[in-house]
């Protein structure tokens, strides 16, 4: 494999390639508060709907000329479908993360198999860090969520250190552990535009985002946790993939002039993940000017 085949320097550049994993062995397990609540309320996975929703997501991406690449699912990896967490594409090469939950640590082996040794730039070894907490916002600007659970300070500090060495501006965004990852409460939807659970994120962090020129569209706690409403994927060029059931958020995004593609994904959101969690961008057009 050619070194540095994959490249992203933002969350919003034109998306060309993405990594997914079919949900053959996906299940809800009581490892996060969202899945626990779904199961406590008596909800159960409809596997026919689950598979249909995954196919709809793939068709949505391919319909926008995004090349989809797939991991082979494994029966002992119930959350392997959430490919965002086990690796992170960067401008410098791929980073293999360090997953916190014991039921997910085995996901690292298929990640090594997919990328190959020539593509891997760094491997995280200090503490824990997961891709759902990593936001490469734009060239030179990085935010990493720290809950103490999926990503802790040691893991975030190691990752941030590599970017600071390259001259990037970086910040840890701290939040309560039950939100799982930063992408449950904050996600970029277009250049300098994000959706965020503004009543959850600390005021000083909201001020920091705004100081970077990022405008924040508000999402409620219920929308973030019940609907995974922040967990969307920018395709670049003013296009966003957002769950069909997030009607108010989708209306808000359309009012901003964005094209919203809205596949059904409630079988995944009830388990604690959605579109952002299910996709690891492999290649985006650079946002660097000139």
pLDDT of residue 2: 44
**Exposed/middle/buried for 289, CB within 10 Å: 0-12, 13-18, 19+?**
exposed
Q: Is 224 domain-assigned?
A: yes
Give the CATH number, domain containing residue 189: 3.75.10.10
Q: Is 80 domain-assigned?
A: yes
Q: Is 1 domain-assigned?
A: no
User: Which residue range is the domain that position 157 belongs to?
Assistant: 15-284
Q: Is 133 domain-assigned?
A: yes
The domain total for the chain is 1
pTM higher than the cut 0.85: yes
Q: Is 149 domain-assigned?
A: yes
Q: Is 70 domain-assigned?
A: yes
Q: Is 10 domain-assigned?
A: no
pLDDT tens, the chain, 290 aa long: 345 689 999 999 999 999 999 999 987 776 666 766 766 677 677 899 999 999 999 999 999 999 999 999 999 999 999 999 999 999 999 999 999 999 899 999 999 999 998 899 999 999 999 999 999 999 999 999 999 999 999 999 999 999 999 999 999 999 999 999 999 999 999 999 999 999 999 999 999 999 999 999 999 999 999 899 999 999 999 999 999 999 999 999 999 999 999 999 988 877 778 999 999 999 999 998 75
Q: Is 113 domain-assigned?
A: yes
């Amino acid at each position: 494999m050619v070194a540095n085949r994959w490249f992203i320097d933002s969350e919003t550049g034109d998306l060309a390639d993405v990594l997914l994993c079919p949900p053959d062995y996906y299940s809800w397990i009581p490892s996060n508060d969202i899945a626990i609540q779904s199961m406590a309320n008596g909800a159960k996975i409809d596997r026919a709907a689950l598979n249909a929703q995954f196919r709809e997501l793939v068709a949505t991406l391919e319909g926008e000329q995004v090349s989809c690449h797939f991991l082979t699912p494994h029966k002992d990896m119930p959350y392997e479908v959430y490919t965002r967490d086990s690796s992170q594409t960067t401008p410098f090469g791929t980073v293999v993360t360090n997953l916190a939950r014991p039921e997910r640590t085995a996901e690292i082996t298929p990640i090594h198999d997919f990328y190959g040794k020539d593509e891997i730039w760094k491997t995280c070894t200090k503490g824990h860090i997961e891709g759902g907490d990593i936001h490469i916002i734009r060239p030179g600007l990085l935010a990493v969520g720290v809950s103490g659970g999926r990503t802790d300070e040691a893991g975030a500090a190691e990752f941030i250190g590599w970017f600071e060495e390259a001259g990037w501006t970086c910040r840890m965004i701290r939040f309560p552990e039950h939100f799982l990852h930063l992408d449950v409460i904050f996600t970029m939807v277009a250049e300098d535009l994000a959706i965020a659970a503004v009543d959850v994120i600390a005021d000083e962090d909201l001020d920091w985002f705004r100081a970077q020129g990022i405008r924040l569209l508000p999402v409620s706690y219920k929308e973030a946790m019940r609907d995974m409403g922040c967990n969307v994927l920018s395709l670049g060029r003013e296009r966003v993939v957002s769950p069909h059931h997030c009607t108010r958020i989708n209306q808000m995004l359309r009012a901003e002039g964005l094209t919203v593609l809205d596949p059904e994904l409630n079988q995944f959101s009830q388990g604690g993940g959605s579109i952002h969690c299910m996709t690891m961008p492999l290649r985006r057009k650079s946002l660097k000017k000139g």
